[in-house]
A and B are shown apart, each in its own frame.
Chain A
Amino acid sequence: MKRKKAAAGGEDIGRETRLELYRLQLELRYCEKRAYDLFLQNLVKGTSHLSLGQEAIAAAFGVAMRSDDWTFCTYRGHAHTLARGASMAGVLGELMGRQCGLLGGKGGSMHLTDVSKGAMGSYAIIGAHLPVAAGAAWSAQYRGTEQVAVCFFGDGTTNIGAFHEALNFAAVWKLPVVYVCENNLYMEYTAIHTVTAVDHPAADRAAAYGLESVIVDGNDADEVYRAAVQYMDRARKGGGPALIEAKTYRHSGHSRADPAKYRPEGELEKWLEHDPIKLYRERLAKLGVAEATLKDIETDAMRKVDEATAAAKASPVPALDGIERNVWADGGAAWRN
Chain B
Amino acid sequence: MAELTYRDAVAAGIAQEMARDERVVFLGEDVASAGGVFKATVGLLEKFGPKRVRDCPISEQAIIGAAMGAAMTGLRPIAEIMFSDFLAVCWDMVANEIAKTRYMTNGQIALPLVIRTANGAGSRFGAQHSQAVENWAMAVPGLKVVAPATPADVKGLIAAAVRDPDPVIVFEQKSLYSTKGEVPDGEHVDQLGKAKVLRSGKDCTVVALALMVHRALEAAEILEKEHGIACTVVDLRSLVPLDTQTLLAETAKTGRLVTIEENPRLCGWGAEIASIVADECFWDLDGPVVRITTPHVPLPSADQLEDNTLPSVARIVREIREKID
Contacts and interface: CB of A to CB of B under 8 A. Distances in A.
Nearest to A126: B92
Given A70-B73, A115-B108, A131-B69, A337 B103 contact: no
A327 to B, nearest CB: 5
Contact of B69 (A116, A139, A333): A139
Interface residues of B, number: 49
A31 interface: no
Contacts, number: 160
Contacts of B109: 113, 115, 120-121
A129 B96 CA distance: 11
Interface stretch (A158-166, A179-187, A210-218): A158-166
Nearest to B242: A336
B193 A327 contact: no
A106 B103 contact: yes
A140 B110 CA distance: 17
B104 A107 contact: yes
B304 interface: no
A135 B241 contact: no
Contacts of B75: 138-139, 142-143
A123 to B, nearest CB: 7
Nearest to B98: A132
Interface string B42-70: 00000000010010110101111111111
Contacts of A331: 107
Contact of B108 (A72, A113, A334): A113
Contacts of B64: 131
A109 B291 CA distance: 44
Interface in A292-337: 322, 325-331, 333-337
A103 interface: yes
A88 interface: no
A123 B97 contact: yes
B288 interface: no
Contacts of A70: 73
Contacts of A125: 92, 96-97
Interface in B67-96: 67-75, 77, 92-93, 96
B142 interface: yes
A221 interface: no
Given A139-B74, A172-B57, A134 B69 contact: yes
A177 to B, nearest CB: 9
A331 B290 CA distance: 36
A150 interface: no
Contacts of A111: 104-105
Given A114-B108, A328-B102, A334-B241, A168 B59 contact: yes
Contacts of B110: 329
Interface string B150-184: 00000000000000111000000000000000000
Interface residues of A, number: 54
A36 interface: no
A140 B75 CA distance: 10
A73 to B, nearest CB: 13
Nearest to B59: A165
Interface string B279-314: 000000000000000000000000000000000000
B106 A136 contact: no
A135 B164 CA distance: 19
A103 B105 contact: yes
B167 to A, nearest CB: 10
Contacts of A138: 66, 69-70, 75
A89 interface: no
A165 B59 CA distance: 6
A149 B69 contact: yes
B228 interface: no
B72 to A, nearest CB: 7
A326 B59 contact: no
Given A103-B105, A132-B69, A168 B57 contact: yes
A310 to B, nearest CB: 23
Contacts of B16: none
A104 interface: yes
A44 B102 CA distance: 23
B211 interface: no
Contacts of B71: 135
A133 interface: yes
A139 B70 contact: yes
Contacts of B244: 336-337
A103 B104 CA distance: 7
A39 interface: no
Contacts of B193: 337
A112 to B, nearest CB: 9
A337 B57 contact: no
B276 to A, nearest CB: 8
Nearest to A103: B106
Given A136-B70, A138-B70, 15 more contacts: A106-B106, A107-B105, A107-B106, A111-B104, A135-B77, A139-B73, A161-B61, A162-B65, A162-B92, A169-B59, A326-B106, A327-B103, A327-B141, A335-B241, A336-B243
Pick the 7 closest A-B CB pairs, nearest first: A135-B69, A131-B65, A329-B165, A135-B66, A165-B59, A136-B69, A165-B62
23 contacts: A72-B69, A103-B108, A115-B108, A121-B109, A125-B96, A131-B63, A132-B65, A132-B66, A132-B72, A135-B71, A136-B73, A139-B70, A142-B51, A143-B74, A149-B69, A162-B62, A168-B57, A322-B106, A326-B103, A326-B107, A328-B165, A329-B102, A337-B244
